């Protein structure tokens, strides 16, 4: 049993006792997504905390994208619900990197690869080096935008 899953189950019980509908439904949804990830593929396996963070990041991204879509569709009440769920999920993710921290990591990767001024063709190499460092701590789109900006 891993610690993140235990924490989710404990928090689910606490949320249910407190009658916190948003929190309890969101944690249930997270646990369902984790279970689905565990049974996906040819053999069932228990996810490590790192693998669970990947699932959580994916779920958080879905909520952010849905909130934007609801805003564009003039459905502010649904967008607010998605943002509330994203906030609950964020409690279980590591602290997010600031744009300045992302820029520093990307700058270090560009210098290490000697890709300064190499343009878009070096994007894959730089992203390959940066992604493991920011996994679960930064939105991939924000990282890609910063890499594009620095590569020119």
Q: What is the CATH number of the domain that holds 135?
A: 1.10.10.410
- Please count the structural domains in the chain: 2
What span, in angstroms and rounded, lies between the C-alpha atoms of 64 and 92?
A: 16
Residue 125: the pLDDT is: 84
Instruction: Looking at the structure, tell me whether residues 74 and 114 fall in a common domain.
Output: no
Is residue 1's pLDDT more than 80?
no
What span, in angstroms and rounded, lies between the C-alpha atoms of 150 and 152?
A: 5
What span, in angstroms and rounded, lies between the C-alpha atoms of 118 and 120?
A: 7
Residue 80: the pLDDT is: 93
What span, in angstroms and rounded, lies between the C-alpha atoms of 89 and 133?
A: 21
Q: Which of 40, 70, 90 represents a domain boundary (last residue)?
A: 90
Q: What CATH number does residue 53 fall under?
A: 1.10.1510.10
**pLDDT (tens digit per residue) in 8-28:** 999 999 999 999 999 999 999
Residue 117: the pLDDT is: 67
Residue 53: the pLDDT is: 84
Instruction: Looking at the structure, tell me whether residues 60 and 9 fall in a common domain.
Output: yes
Q: In the predicted model, what is the mean pLDDT of residues 31-59? A: 87
Q: What is the mean pLDDT of the chain?
A: 87
Structural domain containing residue 83? 3-90
In 3-state terms, what secondary structure has residue 69?
helix
Pick from 148, 149, 152, 106: nearest CA to 129: 106
Instruction: Looking at the structure, tell me whether residues 11 and 85 fall in a common domain.
Output: yes
Q: At 82, is the pLDDT very low, low, confident or very high (cuts 50, 70, 90)?
A: very high
Instruction: Looking at the structure, tell me whether residues 78 and 106 fall in a common domain.
Output: no
């Amino acid at each position: 049993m891993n610690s993140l899953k235990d924490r989710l189950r404990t928090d689910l019980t606490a949320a249910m006792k407190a009658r916190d509908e948003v929190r309890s439904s969101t944690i249930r949804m997270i646990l369902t997504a984790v279970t689905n990830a565990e049974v996906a593929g040819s053999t069932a396996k228990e996810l490590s905390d790192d693998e669970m963070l990947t699932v959580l990041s994916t779920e958080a991204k879905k909520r952010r994208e849905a909130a934007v879509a609801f805003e564009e569709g003039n459905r502010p009440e649904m967008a607010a619900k998605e943002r509330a769920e994203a906030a609950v999920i964020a409690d279980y993710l590591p602290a997010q990197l600031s744009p300045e921290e992302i820029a520093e990591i990307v700058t270090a990767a560009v210098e290490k690869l000697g890709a300064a001024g190499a343009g878009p063709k070096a994007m894959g190499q730089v992203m390959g080096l940066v992604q493991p460092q920011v996994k679960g701590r930064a939105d991939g789109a924000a990282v890609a935008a910063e890499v594009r900006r620095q590569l020119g």
